[in-house]
Structure 1
Amino acid sequence: MASVYDSERLAAAYAFDRPPVHQHILRAARLDRPAHRALDVGCGAGLSTAALASVAQHVIGLEPVPAMLAHSGTVAPRARFVVGTAEQLPFGTGVFDLVTAAGSLNYADLPPALREIARVLAPGGTFLLYDFSEGRRSASGDALADWFAAFEQRFPWPAGWRPLDPRELPLAACGLRLLDHTGIELHLPTTFEDYLRYTVSGVNVDSAVEARDWCRDTLAPLFAAGDLTVVVPGYVATLSHAPV
């Protein structure tokens, strides 16, 4: 089945036009020690993989859609990338002391994906499952939230994504347990041009030209007084092997 992410435009947009969210969330996770080998499941263009360079010696990003890896060498030059799925990880048992998944399991068949993550996770290893929402609002009022609602109505999101709450997953049956779940709210100072590139980088935008023109015209008044602090809510869940 064709994926909405099988797109040269999306590969470039996700590589170069998204905000630096992953490193902020990894800092919030408060890992107690650096990892030797880390795996990023469903890495997309590689931004989430690049963020692991500060916490792991060897990093591998795994992505099911080859087209999304077009710029991975530029985005994360220290990492290695592999094409594969979360449900059938092409790695040996117990080889990673850190596994991460940033919003990617929302598209996966969860029970087999979780079992595979538990399988490749080394004894005593850590699995960080995290996600974050779109930057729909600013810290200075409701104008950006109102604009984003109109944007989503004009450019609706495609089907395929499913909400995921780590606290409600069948973790024990898959060999995992939840150690911690922390809500996060990032406040990112953002220029008009940065926010414009960000909004037209999403999977809901088929025609970047049409969207860019509409977004530029309608966003300009919101940034007339200068930069905005965009609020990005999210969470990070820390998991490990379930006790035998």
Structure 2
Amino acid sequence: MTTSGGTGDRGRSAYDSERLAASYAFDRPPVHQQILKSARLKRPVGRALDIGCGAGVSTAALAPLAEYVIGLEPVPAMLVHRRSVAPSARFVIGAAEGLPFAPASFDLVAAAGSLNYTDLSSALAEVARVLTPEGTFLLYDFSQGRYSRTGDALATWFKSFQQRFPSVSGWRPLVVQELRLAGTGLRLLDYADIEIPIQMSLDDYLRYVLGEVNVDSAIARGDDSAEQARDWCHRTLVEVFRSGEMTVVFRGYLATLAPAGNGCSHV
């Protein structure tokens, strides 16, 4: 779920990392799949595009919704495991602000947290350009797994995690209801807040948080070694998971948009 990618020290993309690519490919909980199950499309479509696809997990999640899926990613390092993650998809290097596709190429376009790194008006106009007149744009995102249904221990721990491993620059908040869609060629059809509960063990959660971009960036800067980061996270999480598995809640949203000239309902 990257597009131009956050930037770290000396202009390095925070997503230009073999370690991060492996974690995004194999250690992320199945949140994309759960959110996309909420998409109220009338039927599977022919061609779909996943903008800022990262390691390809979000691309694979589009497979039930389209016969042919393309993942677009600007950081080549993120795609090293693409054949394992989404073997039936095709992948292209490119940016959201200049999609390398002809007009009206896709019946469905999706972007999962990737447009937060873009020139938003340009990216939205490009989405409108490559959508077919009856096409659908699924814009969605979700927070990090910082909440639990069994108390505040995980939320408290996550605050200390963010202090220990500060966020990288480049990300900007995106509020769907405040999008300036006039002139982009898109209109909003539907919006829903979503909570995705995922049952996770200590080991599951540890693999997940160690693959967060802020941890990887700290390791790349030399602030921590991979072993030091793992030791700190494991030591501080043991008490949080003392009762065993925990239901971790990922809070997100799903917005459905369509070409502005299309008066038909997709949902």
Q: Any idea what the Cα deviations from partners look like across 1:130-167, whole Å, max 9, x if unmatched?
A: 00000001100000000000000010111110000122
Does the CA-based 8 Å contact 2:133-2:261 persist in structure 1?
Answer: no
Match of 2:249 in 1: 231
Match of 1:180 in 2: 190
Q: Any idea what the Cα deviations from partners look like across 1:68-105, whole Å, max 9, x if unmatched?
A: 00101110001000000000000000010000000000
Mapping 1:83-94, distance limit 5 Å: 83-94=93-104
Distance 1:31 1:194 in 2: 32
Letter in 1 for 2:39: A
Pairwise CA distance, 1:201: 0.3
Q: Does 1:133 align with 2:143?
A: yes
Letter in 2 for 1:39: L
Match of 2:65 in 1: 55
Segment of structure 1 superposing worse, 80-89 or 222-231 = 222-231
Distance 1:152 1:54 in 2: 35
Distance 2:42 2:231 in 1: 46
Letter in 2 for 1:204: N
Distance 2:203 2:68 in 1: 34
Match of 2:5 in 1: none
Distance 1:102 1:86 in 2: 12
Root mean square deviation of aligned Cα: 1.0
Query: SS at 1:150's partner residue?
Result: helix
Distance 1:50 1:29 in 2: 15
Match of 2:38 in 1: 28
Query: SS at 1:31's partner residue?
Result: coil
Q: Does 1:64 align with 2:74?
A: yes
Letter in 2 for 1:59: V
Match of 1:80 in 2: 90
Pairwise CA distance, 1:173: 1.1
Match of 1:158 in 2: 168
- Share of identical aligned residues, percent? 64
5+ residue gaps in structure 1? none
Match of 1:114 in 2: 124
Q: Does 1:42 align with 2:60?
A: no
Distance 1:32 1:238 in 2: 13
Match of 1:243 in 2: 261
| TM-score, length basis structure 2 | 0.90
Letter in 1 for 2:195: E
| TM-score, length basis structure 1 | 0.98
Q: Any idea what the Cα deviations from partners look like across 1:85-128, whole Å, max 9, x if unmatched?
A: 00000000001000000000000111111111000000110000
Letter in 1 for 2:147: R
Q: Does 1:102 align with 2:120?
A: no
Distance 2:45 2:170 in 1: 32
Letter in 2 for 1:58: Y
Distance 2:234 2:141 in 1: 27
Q: Does 1:209 align with 2:219?
A: no
Match of 1:10 in 2: 20
Query: SS at 1:221's partner residue?
Result: coil
Q: Any idea what the Cα deviations from partners look like across 1:200-231, whole Å, max 9, x if unmatched?
A: 10110132322111010110111121100001
Query: SS at 1:60's partner residue?
Result: strand
Letter in 2 for 1:219: L
- Number of aligned positions between the proteins: 244
Distance 2:121 2:40 in 1: 27
Distance 2:143 2:40 in 1: 21
Pairwise CA distance, 1:169: 1.3
List 4+ stretches of structure 1 deviating above 4 A.
none
Distance 1:95 1:22 in 2: 23
Query: SS at 1:3's partner residue?
Result: coil
Distance 1:163 1:2 in 2: 21
Distance 1:107 1:198 in 2: 22
Distance 1:135 1:31 in 2: 27
